[in-house]
Structure 1
Amino acid sequence: MIVNIIQIIKNKVQNVFSIARSFCSDDYMFYKGLKKTDLLIFDDIFPHPISGFRYEEFTVLLKHFKKSKIIVEPTSYTIVNTPIENHQKHISEFILQNVSLKKKIVRKKKLVNINTNLFYCVFLNNIYKNLWWLEKYKIPFAFTLYPGGGFQLDNTISDEKLKKVLESPSFRKVITTQKITQNYLIEKNFCSSQKIEFIFGGVVPQISLNKDLTNKKAYLVDKLTFDICFCAAKYSPKGEDKGYDVFIEFAKTIVDKYDFVNFHIIGGFDENDIDVSKLKGKIKFYGYQNFETLGVIYQNMDVLISPNKAFVLGKGAFDGFPLGTVVEAALNGVAVLITDELKQNSTFIPNVDLILIDSNSDSIRNNIIDLIENPEKLYSISQNGQQKFLKVYSNEIQMKPRISLLQNEIAQK
């Protein structure tokens, strides 16, 4: 009897490692072990503090779902100019702040048990790269389809990926954050509306909602300078997709008119990308910053300008509305000027909560002059915008429906 039991256990162990070896690469092995989670998350940059929305969302999910884990593979570190070696440092820092989650972070460079009731990730490329083993092991999945990350409108490669993902027998639900995305999926017959959950905006670190703005400096109240900032990652040589080229063109047209205007560039750009010699002494570059440091910088800003353009990086490539950097600025009491070429805004009131602009120098210049000459309008938009963004980006609005969706899918297993 004992011999038979030992043999059964031995056979099961051998079977597990046999399966694992059949799905191995130089760095990792997947296997469907005996221990099962309710929720398995995957991400390619977590827990890098620069990606505040993922840091917040995945932390909340890992805490809420007792049986949950996250597989981390830092392939996107290079995109934000971070050495991959820093990944372990970020993991260690995350664990110091979230000791209870220590065993829930799984590096992909090891044997990975993927036995779960539900798989979840954000962005098209991330779900697509994991599709093969999700289908192999018949594991159901849900994901958030943010703009970017492989998703582009009317792009052949993007559409092919979407088709494979949304027609997969393992597909359960997709969260969309923009109406244009929801409409696109339905109009292209990629999936039925019943499988789409629309949650406008995105997740924001809740620390950003609890800002102490007692040290916030405002034009003509606490300082004589008018400080304008631009904040974006660099995906093209001159930042045409984010409107960096337009921003610098605007800056050069107004610097002679007002000698008290300063410009602040946060993100992947420096003085070598576009000639800024005319702005010498009036422009400062900060490089990439995490969301906590951004809050400190924004304390001295009056306006953030986001003149981003759609379809610059490729056919169908577009940003969500508003950008994460815009959200962070507004929460810090900074008035935001932003483009909305694709008419994605369905929540904010123009000239009350924020200012809508065209992505050209004249449009920006006219609106900035209006704010400089009418500081009461600047103060009003800053205050109204902060209150509106606080409401829209609370976890009550953003995370509660996400948790509910995932719980419902897990319950159906």
Structure 2
Amino acid sequence: MRKVVHSPLCRRIITTQTITSEYLVDKTDCDPSKIEFIYGGVFNSRVDFIFDRDKKLYGRDKETIDICFVAHRYSDDFTQKGYDQFVEIARALATDERFRFHVVGDYTPQDIPLGQAEALITFYGAQKSKFFDTFYPNMDIILSPNHPAGAGRGAFDGFPTGSCMEAGFRGVVNFITDPLALNAAFYDGEDIMIINRDVEQTIARIRALVADPGRLYTLARANELAFRRVFDIDRQLKSRTGVIVDELLRDECLVVRPSALMSSLDTAEVVAARMAADHARQTIEQLTSLLNESNRYGEERHDNLFREYEKLSLFYESWSKNNPSQTEINHPRKKSLTLRSAFLSFTSRILRRLLRILSRDLK
């Protein structure tokens, strides 16, 4: 990590949680000016939900107050996601017949004794995203008492969790812990409920809120609006894109990648042999190219000569037909010699001379 953040090729780092920014500065000595903090994740905030149209209200649309727990189970440590605290709260509230409890994720009734709450808890198992379109509008509170201690060294959940964001987009009040103080945008009691691992205190806050359904749903609406404002996907993407564009437009000297280091297996003898082989290959390619060019040249010269000879032959045939009386001529060694013989003798000499020239060119 230290090598990456100090590399000249690493120009900016986008972080989404305060703890990540602090880690980079404290543990890797990263230049703070290199860090761009953009709170929140990129989630689909364009859910098809309108509070006044879709939200199911206690006392108007239903007779129960519904509290849900939604999380993946990564280990047998139930404190990691806070399932143990959820069950404890459910057992304490089970005496109030208004409450119903819902668990989404790979949890079972056998994980922790449910006591009186057993008849009031519904387990749905792991679900796909489409499930929550109809699930969350019926929920009043999502309880997320997660705790990083059991997650392993350096591991932590963001704030809020992805499940809490999806619930908030659909008007569900978030009761959520913030043990690492990651909250950077919300106000306890106004648009979110920040709780801790004190079960009795959490139970008291739940009872106080549901005692006034008007306040419960005012907070639910405020929670939805705050989440849509902070985690709006267009806003999140615009912020990230702006950082990238600024860096692309910034003038920088050309970065030249250094040559690769020679392998320890590449001894001087191996390198010399490799260079000799490359030179031989290049020489063969050059000779092959020259030979192909010579063959092409020879074929063209031969073809041209043959065509010229054909022209002469055709000319003689035509002329002899039109001038039959001129087909014999005097010759110093012979009394008569046909014009055809004279022509053949002449062209033969010309052909031999051209062949000598062609042979010399090919050499």
TM over 0.5: yes
Contact 1:174–1:195 (CA<8 Å) still a contact in 2?
yes
Listed one character per residue, the Cα deviations across residues 16-56 of structure 1 (whole Å, up to 9, x for unaligned) are: xxxxxxxxxxxxxxxxxxxxxxxxxxxxxxxxxxxxxxxxx
Q: Distance in 2 between matches of 1:215 and 1:336?
A: 18
Contact 1:291–1:328 (CA<8 Å) still a contact in 2?
no
Relative to its length, the structure with more strand (as a share) is: 1
Distance 1:190 1:235, change over 3 A: farther
Q: Distance in 1 between matches of 2:233 and 2:43?
A: 8
Structure-1-length-normalised TM-score: 0.57
Residue 262 of structure 2 is aligned to residue 262 of structure 1 = no
Counterpart of 2:54 (choices 176, 201, 215) is 215
Relative to its length, the structure with more helix (as a share) is: 2
- Identity among equivalent positions (%) equals 37
Distance 1:272 1:410, change over 3 A: farther
Contact 1:295–1:328 (CA<8 Å) still a contact in 2?
no
Partner of 2:219: 381
RMSD value over aligned CA atoms? 1.9
Partner of 1:240: 79
Q: Which moved more, 1:326-335 or 1:230-239?
A: 230-239
Tell me the amino acid that sits aligned with residue 268 of structure 1: D
Q: CA deviation at 1:190?
A: 3.6
Q: CA deviation at 1:168?
A: 4.5
Listed one character per residue, the Cα deviations across residues 195-219 of structure 1 (whole Å, up to 9, x for unaligned) are: 21110011111332x4234132112
Contact 2:2–2:28 (CA<8 Å) still a contact in 1?
no
Q: CA deviation at 1:273?
A: 1.9
Q: CA deviation at 1:188?
A: 2.5
1:171 alignment partner, SS class = coil
Number of aligned pairs? 250
Q: CA deviation at 1:311?
A: 2.4
Residue 244 of structure 2 is aligned to residue 406 of structure 1 = yes
Q: Distance in 1 between matches of 2:229 and 2:21?
A: 22
Q: CA deviation at 1:238?
A: 4.2
Partner of 1:276: 114
Contact 1:238–1:273 (CA<8 Å) still a contact in 2?
no
Residue 156 of structure 2 is aligned to residue 318 of structure 1 = yes
Q: Distance in 2 between matches of 1:310 and 1:238?
A: 11
Q: Map 1:12-411 to 2 at 5 A.
A: 162-168=1-7, 170-208=9-47, 210-213=48-51, 214-256=53-95, 258-276=96-114, 278-411=116-249
5+ unaligned residues in a row in structure 1: which ranges?
A: 1-161
Q: Distance in 2 between matches of 1:286 and 1:332?
A: 19
Contact 1:248–1:276 (CA<8 Å) still a contact in 2?
yes
Listed one character per residue, the Cα deviations across residues 128-164 of structure 1 (whole Å, up to 9, x for unaligned) are: xxxxxxxxxxxxxxxxxxxxxxxxxxxxxxxxxx324
